[in-house]
Every structure is written in structure tokens, then in C-alpha cells.
């Protein structure tokens, strides 16, 4: 909807070195980006400071993961206290964290709470696996995941939920625009009942799952699709087309 500003996040995942990321940032810095679209790029943690130092200020930087506490005996984990490294946002609950690294709803909720307390905005991911969709439990799964997040949010103005059907991530498959709209619409209805009318009306719900320059415009035209979390295409020139998906 026109009153909700489009939000496009690029999740670079575990890709890039200084040289390749410098080229990618250079492409973004000279690109003509829709001035009404909020753009965030999620760099690998070791490059957050570097990327922030060379990326145009109109584009925000996100971390790809953060732990649930600020410090402690947690070998290899990364503290949410990353604002000094230039990150304004963090991606939490991504399907790869859930299904590759075994993070559950409770842990993700705790991470959301602490990230918000630390001053970070949160791109909060939810989504069903293929067997869950085929079993007809998509709503049950995404509602439970959203509930675990909602229980840990006080300020919804710094949260952007991202619906990512797991079976459409990195597979080349995507939900149809109608399927994406169906889930987004039901999520907005859930928020209306379980959070508030104001949050349901204003919250941006973004879609993630093999978004490309070819399908982004039709997806962006859906009533309740307010942007994207982009994986592989965020490393390519077509990311600019995705940012500019809405006229």
C-alpha cells in the first residue's frame, strides 16, 4: 500500500571479500534508487565496519545475526552491541538459522528482545517448510513464529517481519504473487487481533524467497507485500531493479 514505505533488504549471507564487496558497494553508490524505498544491506559481520565506511549513507547496514545477551562465555557468538560498527539493523530468525543451526522460536524471541533493547532495528523472519505447506499447516507455523516474536516486542516501529517460505529460498522457486499476498494478508489479520489495529495497518510485511528483477514488480503490487528480503539477487546488478520495484 502506498502509505507504507517500501522496505528492501539485501542479505549478502556468507559471501564476499573486501575486493568484491567494494565493487558491489560501488555499484550501489552510483545507482539511481527510488527515494521512497528504504534500503538495508546485511553484510558479513567481519565486514560491517568496512561496508559502512564506503556505502552511501542513504543505504543502511544490517548484521545477519546477533546473540541474546551483550557479553559472556559464548565462543564465536556476536554481541548485539554493534551500533559502533555501523549496523542499524539485524536479521533474526532467518530460515538458515532455524533449520541449519537449530535456533528455536524461544531463542529467536530472546534475540529480538535484546536487539531492540540494544538499539537495533529487527528484520524478523518467519516461514514454513515445504512439508508444512503440503500438510496445510502454513498458518499454524507462521502464527506460532510470529507470536514468539510479538511477545518480545515493545516498539513495533523498529520491526519488519519477513515472510520467507523455506522451500522458496535459494531454490529458484517462488510463491506466486497471490500466494504471497494470501499469507501476508492473514498475518496482517493476525496482528490486528493479537497486537493492535495501528500495528496491523502500519507494519511493513516483506517477502523473501527467490525474489528477482523479473518477479519483484508483480510481488510489490500486492496489497500487503511491502518489500523484500533478497538473497542471491542482492549480490547482482538486478538488486537495483528490485529496490525500484514500486513505481
Question: Structural domain of residue 194, as residue ranges?
Answer: 7-243
pLDDT digit string, tens, across residues 104-156: 999 999 999 999 999 999 999 999 998 999 899 999 999 999 999 999 999 99
Please check whether residue 169 lies inside any domain of the structure.
yes
Please check whether residue 63 lies inside any domain of the structure.
yes
User: Given the C-alpha cell 517448510, which residue does it identify?
Assistant: 129
Active site residues: 94, 164
Distance between CA atoms of 106 and 243, rounded to whole angstroms?
32
Who contacts 4 (Cβ-Cβ below 8 Å, separation ≥6)? 202, 203, 204, 226
Predicted confidence pLDDT, tens digits, the chain (247 residues): 447 999 999 999 999 999 999 999 999 999 999 999 999 999 999 999 999 999 999 999 999 999 999 999 999 888 877 666 789 999 999 999 999 999 999 999 999 999 999 999 999 999 999 899 989 999 999 999 999 999 999 999 999 999 999 988 777 776 899 999 999 999 999 999 999 999 999 999 999 988 999 999 999 999 999 999 999 999 999 999 999 999 8
CATH number of the domain encompassing residue 132:
3.20.20.70
Model pLDDT, residue 79: 87
Please check whether residue 2 lies inside any domain of the structure.
no
Count the domains in the chain: 1
Q: Which triple of cell numbers denotes residue 219?
A: 510481488
Please check whether residue 71 lies inside any domain of the structure.
yes
Q: Which triple of cell numbers denotes residue 165?
A: 517460505
Amino acid at each position: 500500500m502506498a502509505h507504507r514505505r517500501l522496505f528492501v533488504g539485501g542479505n549478502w549471507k556468507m559471501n564476499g571479500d573486501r575486493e568484491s564487496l567494494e565493487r558491489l558497494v560501488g555499484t550501489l553508490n552510483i545507482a539511481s534508487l527510488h527515494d521512497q524505498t528504504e534500503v538495508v544491506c546485511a553484510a558479513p559481520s567481519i565486514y560491517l565496519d568496512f561496508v559502512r565506511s564506503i556505502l552511501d549513507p542513504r543505504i543502511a547496514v544490517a548484521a545477519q545475526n546477533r546473540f541474546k545477551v551483550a557479553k559472556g562465555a559464548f565462543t564465536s557468538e556476536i554481541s548485539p552491541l554493534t551500533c559502533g560498527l555501523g549496523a542499524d539493523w539485524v536479521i533474526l530468525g532467518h530460515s538458515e538459522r532455524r533449520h541449519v543451526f537449530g535456533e528455536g522460536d524461544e531463542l529467536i524471541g530472546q534475540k529480538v528482545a535484546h536487539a531492540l533493547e540494544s538499539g537495533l532495528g529487527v528484520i524478523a523472519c518467519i516461514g514454513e517448510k515445504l512439508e508444512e505447506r503440503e500438510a496445510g499447516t502454513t498458518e499454524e507455523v507462521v502464527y506460532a513464529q510470529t507470536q514468539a516474536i510479538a511477545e518480545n516486542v515493545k516498539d513495533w516501529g523498529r520491526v519488519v517481519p519477513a515472510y520467507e517460505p523455506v522451500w522458496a529460498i535459494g531454490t529458484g522457486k517462488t510463491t506466486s504473487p497471490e500466494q504471497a499476498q494470501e499469507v501476508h494478508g492473514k498475518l496482517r489479520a493476525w496482528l490486528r487481533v493479537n497486537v493492535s489495529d495501528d500495528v496491523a495497518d502500519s507494519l511493513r510485511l516483506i517477502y523473501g524467497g527467490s525474489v528477482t528483477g523479473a518477479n519483484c514488480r508483480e510481488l510489490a503490487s500486492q496489497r500487503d507485500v511491502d518489500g523484500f528480503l533478497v538473497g542471491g539477487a542482492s549480490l547482482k546488478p538486478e538488486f537495483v531493479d528490485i529496490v525500484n520495484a514500486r513505481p
